[in-house]
Structure 1
Amino acid sequence: MKKTLLHYLIFSCLLALVLVGFVYASSPIDKKQYMTVTVASGDTLWGLAKQYEPAHGLSPDEFIRWVVDVNRLPSSRLTAGEQIVIPVLKSKQDGSLAVKR
């Protein structure tokens, strides 16, 4: 009986941790904190990643994945005139990176 109760308690705690982690990981990003750029003809996500590299501190692959996910882009291809949010804080007064690894 005590073993069953202990197993139930451990299982419940683990399940709670998984659920909390899932909720935290799926929290939406507040896009208002980040820069919005208008895509120019010839722009690529790789080029934007390199252009803003000092401000975001991500690898180009991480930058591209962030932009595609946050903007819900169907692919990593950009269209001129399109507005996208990039992982660069609008206000960087504290000098911190926009996205923590």
Structure 2
Amino acid sequence: MKKESIAYIFTFFLVLLAITFVVSYTDKAESLDNFQQVTIENGDSLWEIAERFQDKSNISRQDFVKWVQDNNNLHSTLVKPGDIVFVPIEKKHNVQLNQLASD
């Protein structure tokens, strides 16, 4: 009987962990829908993008790059042309992204 109790407790915590993971993953995906997306062009870097958006964001360039890395699951600051990343600029700002693309 004691082994069954331990099995139930273990199962309960596994289910709780799974639910927590699903809720946190879903919440993050929904929250990114409120932010601008940028398509990386030739010559772009996260630091350059942070500089272009400096007047639209209220955070430092270093914090901007860190936010982009964390919220786009990037393990470095290297990005490739064609990559799409979310930036910490809310969509309500209506930024003209094609005007910000590098030549």
Q: State the TM bucket, normalised to the shorter chain.
A: 0.5 to 0.7
Residue 59 of structure 1 is matched in structure 2 by: 60
- Report how far residue 84 of structure 1 moved: 0.2
TM-score normalised according to structure 1 size? 0.62
Q: Which has the higher helix share?
A: 2
- Report how far residue 88 of structure 1 moved: 0.4
Residue 28 of structure 1 is matched in structure 2 by: 28
Structure 1 stretches lacking a partner, 5+ long: 1-25, 94-101
Alignment of 1:1-101 (within 5 A): 28=28, 30-92=31-93
Aligned residues: 68
Tell me how large the CA RMSD over aligned residues is.
1.8
TM-score normalised according to structure 2 size? 0.61
Moved over 4 A (4+): none
Q: What CA distance in whole angstroms lies between the structure 1 residues aligned with 2:70 and 2:54? A: 18
Structure 2 stretches lacking a partner, 5+ long: 1-23, 95-103
What letter is aligned with 2:59?
A: L
Q: What CA distance in whole angstroms lies between the structure 1 residues aligned with 2:59 and 2:48? A: 13
Residue 9 of structure 2 is matched in structure 1 by: none
Q: What CA distance in whole angstroms lies between the structure 1 residues aligned with 2:75 and 2:54? A: 23
